[in-house]
């Protein structure tokens, strides 16, 4: 049943040689890797205004300048990353750049920062998508966590089917959102230019706090979340068609133009219309309703916004598994994360991301503004380390034009470093402290994993061959009763060795069980040992006997043979207690014990 369900949900396995065919064009790459950044136009300006509104209506004058500063930051980051993707076409982004140029410590900081960023991206994107839906249909507001978790599950399943399939599924909604947002900006700016766009009639907002530089910087740090997702292109360069580096750079350029236009245009319109934040309706929803009314365009934009915010999570599903695969290859993550699944994607990373993001979404109640303070720390940490690493890269390479490239990346490192400091300080008490504390903890886990792998490699090295010595082994056949399966097991035992023992665990309390009375009629050579188990446990008496044989009879290893019949259908398997499986789970962790499952058909 499980293999059939797997094929239905995920699809047929793909051969390894098709890996080079599972790549994305520029249009497909924009749909997969740029959706996160593009989707932030749905909430970026709103987060700026939410931060400023506590200072009253007078703070509104800062909305447009802060929006312009965010666009300038976007330009700096994209120009810097365009150099990175060309120089590092193997992908890995900030983690690989920091590893190759700054050392292991900074690379682990980048890896931890990116991992937290990717998990938060999924949670924030889905929460924002649900908010867009509940703005249009308020009755769904109380079910936002369940809706969000369902969407994360759906995203995980689509990505398990392969990167090209996810691009095919989500390409149309991404470009629909781009079209609708550009139409919204064009119509709104046009009406504003001709004086046909009037502010809404709203009550003046009273100041609850003074307008300080700290408050302005906090608003800027909230708007900086708009840049999240830009780094995903650098992590996923190998997913693009050849030449992957230049194609990834082109995607970054297109992304900067689209994101800058939509974000700044929305900022201008929200400022001009004086729309205020609401817990029941997003500001983008209010703007669309003001410009077009609650007709077909409004609902089309709300649906497209919700869809692209969910698809924004797809950026993480594309980038996170690749990052963890790089780190697993270096021994800092469990090696299972480096395994390619049936559909040539890193399935374990996808599953882990879906589970972690769902738990985070539930913990914060599915609220966007509760998650935003945690959002930007990881992103700007990765930005800063990546650009600093590129400066070292250019200083070492010194090829034609290296000075210009080094200056560009140095400017990027300084600016993103300053933004990182601003975000850390202004958002610290709002929840950013969680990420500040979490990143060092994650680094400790990475190093512990690497120490374990180094220890295993050292102990398995042929330099330890002197510790290997001849072994004396005892074969034990577990028998539950006198039947054909026991005879099958006896024949297998005799094929392995001339000596061995049969073990019966008596849990019924009979001093002379039936199998003991029948044994000599069917078997003359192999002795039967009956172990009494007054507390009906199959584990303790067997373990005690094994330890006794190793200590008292000087056996080095004990091989436990478990006969087990195989049924024809899945539902028949549900009718049996599978005690052999439980024995395997317990015995597999005991040193000096080997397990053999001798399966036979009925």
What is this structure's pTM? 0.76
Bridge-partner residues for 474, per DSSP? 558
- 230, 84 in Cβ contact below 8 A? no
Q: What is the mean pLDDT of the chain?
A: 83
Q: State whether residue 209 is helix, strand or coil.
A: coil
d(CA 177, CA 149): 22
**Structure confidence at residue 65 (pLDDT):** 92
What's the mean pLDDT in 246-262?
Answer: 91
Q: pLDDT digit string (tens) for 298-330?
A: 989 988 887 887 777 777 887 888 899 989 999
CATH node for 472-601:
3.40.50
CATH domain 2-454 topology: Amino acid/polyamine transporter I (1.20.1740)
CA distance from start to end of the chain: 20
Give the closest residue to 84 by CA, choosing from 71, 97, 72, 75. 97
175 vs 30, 31, 127, CA distance in Å? 9, 8, 21
User: 565: buried, middle or exposed (CB in 10 Å: 19+, 13-18, 0-12)?
Assistant: middle
Query: What are the sequence ranges of the domains in the chain?
Result: 2-454, 472-601
Q: pLDDT digit string (tens) for 517-567?
A: 888 888 888 888 888 877 667 778 888 888 888 888 888 888 988 888 888
On the question of pLDDT at 216 being above 70, the answer is: yes
Burial 282-300 (b: 16+ CB within 10 A, else e): bbbbbbbbbbbeeeebbeb
d(CA 601, CA 484): 11
Q: Which residue has the higher pLDDT, 99 or 599?
A: 99
What's the mean pLDDT in 55-72?
Answer: 85
> Sorting pLDDT into bands at 50, 70 and 90, what band is 370?
low
51 vs 48, 61, 184, CA distance in Å? 5, 13, 24
d(CA 327, CA 115): 11
CB atoms near residue 86 (< 10 Å)? 16
On the question of pLDDT at 369 being above 60, the answer is: no
Distance, CA of 182 to chain centre: 31
**Structure confidence at residue 509 (pLDDT):** 66
> Sorting pLDDT into bands at 50, 70 and 90, what band is 236?
confident
On the question of pLDDT at 14 being above 80, the answer is: no
**Structure confidence at residue 259 (pLDDT):** 92
- 7, 197 in Cβ contact below 8 A? no
> Sorting pLDDT into bands at 50, 70 and 90, what band is 443?
very high
Give the closest residue to 134 by CA, choosing from 311, 365, 320, 347. 365
d(CA 330, CA 34): 27
User: 154: buried, middle or exposed (CB in 10 Å: 19+, 13-18, 0-12)?
Assistant: middle
- 560, 554 in Cβ contact below 8 A? no
d(CA 46, CA 27): 29
d(CA 303, CA 297): 10
Q: In what order do the strands lie in the sheet with 593-601?
A: 528-532, 501-506, 473-478, 557-566, 593-601
Q: Which residue has the higher pLDDT, 135 or 247?
A: 247
**Structure confidence at residue 201 (pLDDT):** 67
On the question of pLDDT at 56 being above 90, the answer is: no
d(CA 166, CA 342): 15
What's the mean pLDDT in 431-438?
Answer: 78
Give the closest residue to 596 by CA, choosing from 558, 561, 557, 564. 561
d(CA 277, CA 213): 22
């Amino acid at each position: 049943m499980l293999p059939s369900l797997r094929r239905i949900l995920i699809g047929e396995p793909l051969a390894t040689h098709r890996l080079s065919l599972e790549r994305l064009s520029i249009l497909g790459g924009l749909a997969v890797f740029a959706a996160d950044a593009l989707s932030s136009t749905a909430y970026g300006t709103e987060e700026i205004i939410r931060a400023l509104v506590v200072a009253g209506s007078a703070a509104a004058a800062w909305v447009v300048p802060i929006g312009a500063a965010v666009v300038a930051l976007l330009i700096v980051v994209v120009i810097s990353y365009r150099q990175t993707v060309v120089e590092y076409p193997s992908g890995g982004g900030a983690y690989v750049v920091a590893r190759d140029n700054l050392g292991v410590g900074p690379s682990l900081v980048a890896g931890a920062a990116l991992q937290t960023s990717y998990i938060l991206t999924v949670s924030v994107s889905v929460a924002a998508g649900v908010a867009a839906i509940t703005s249009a249909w308020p009755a769904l507001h109380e079910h936002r966590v369940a809706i969000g978790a369902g969407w994360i599950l759906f995203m995980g399943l689509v990505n398990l089917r392969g990167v090209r399939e996810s691009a095919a599924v989500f390409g149309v909604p991404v470009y629909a959102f781009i079209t609708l947002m550009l139409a919204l900006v064009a119509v709104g700016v046009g009406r504003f230019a001709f004086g046909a766009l009037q502010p809404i009639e709203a009550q003046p907002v009273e100041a609850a706090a003074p307008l300080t530089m700290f408050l302005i910087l906090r608003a800027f740090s909230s708007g900086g979340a708009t840049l999240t997702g830009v780094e995903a292109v650098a992590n996923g360069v190998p997913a693009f068609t050849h030449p992957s580096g230049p194609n990834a750079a082109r995607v970054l350029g297109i992304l900067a133009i689209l994101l800058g236009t939509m974000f700044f245009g929305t900022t201008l319109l929200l400022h001009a219309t004086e729309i205020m934040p609401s817990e029941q309706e997003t500001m983008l929803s209010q703007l669309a309703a003001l410009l077009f009314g609650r007709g077909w365009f409004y609902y089309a934009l709300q649906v497209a916004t919700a869809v692209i915010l969910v698809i924004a999570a797809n950026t993480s599903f594309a980038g996170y598994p690749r990052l963890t695969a790089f780190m697993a290859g270096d021994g800092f993550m469990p090696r299972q994360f480096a395994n390619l699944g049936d559909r040539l994607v890193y399935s374990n990373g996808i599953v882990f991301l879906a589970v972690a993001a769902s738990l985070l979404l539930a913990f914060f109640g599915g609220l966007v503004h509760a998650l935003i303070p945690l959002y930007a720390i990881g992103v700007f940490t990765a930005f800063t380390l990546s650009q600093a690493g590129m400066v070292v890269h250019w200083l070492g390479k010194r090829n034609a034009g290296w000075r210009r490239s080094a200056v560009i990346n140095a400017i990027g490192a300084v600016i993103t470093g300053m933004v990182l400091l601003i975000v850390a300080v202004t958002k610290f008490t709002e929840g950013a402290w969680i990420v500040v504390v979490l990143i060092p903890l994650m680094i400790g886990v990475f190093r512990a994993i690497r120490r374990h792998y180094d220890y295993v490699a050292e102990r398995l090295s042929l330099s330890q061959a002197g510790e290997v010595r001849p072994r004396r082994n005892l074969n034990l056949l577990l028998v539950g009763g006198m039947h054909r399966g026991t005879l099958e097991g006896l024949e297998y035992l005799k094929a392995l060795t001339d000596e061995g023992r049969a073990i019966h665990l008596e849990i019924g309390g009979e001093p002379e069980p039936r199998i003991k009375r029948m044994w000599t009629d069917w078997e003359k050579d192999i002795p039967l040992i009956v172990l009494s188990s007054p507390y009906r446990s199959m584990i303790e008496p067997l373990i005690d006997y094994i330890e006794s044989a190793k200590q008292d009879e000087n056996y080095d290893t004990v091989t436990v043979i478990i006969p087990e019949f195989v049924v024809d259908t899945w539902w028949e398997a549900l009718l049996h207690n599978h005690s052999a499986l439980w024995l395997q789970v317990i015995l597999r962790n005991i040193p000096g014990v080997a397990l053999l499952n001798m399966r036979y058909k009925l």
